[in-house]
Amino acid sequence: MAGDPVLVGLVIDEHALSLEELACACGVDADWLHERLDAGLLVCCSGEGAARRFASPQLHRARRLLALERDFDANPELAALVVDLIEEVHRLRSLRQPR
């Protein structure tokens, strides 16, 4: 899969990605996603097994996990912790009222 083209585009919130589509959008093997799903580091928005579906927040999370693991040689659990912190900072910033 290393030489395969990576799908780049905008995920429309009404359309959820399958596991294979998410893997393609991230440029990883489905096994990489299965490992993170089994460890609870990534969750699907609906369905189970082959019927799992992923929305844009899961795509962003998976891409962040991948970037941290790849760029900083972080283990999956550490990468997930950093992504949790990034997501929390974004959530808190969205709560701030403009002055």
- 1 has a pLDDT exceeding 70: no
Distances (CA, A) of 30 to 45, 48, 69: 17, 15, 16
pLDDT of residue 76: 98
Domain 19-95 classified CATH 3.40.50.460?
no
pLDDT tens for 43-92 read: 999 998 889 999 999 999 999 999 999 999 999 999 999 999 999 999 99
For the entire predicted model, the pTM comes to 0.82
pLDDT tens for 2-42 read: 677 766 665 455 689 999 999 999 999 999 999 999 999 99
Sorted by where each begins, the domain ranges of the chain are 19-95
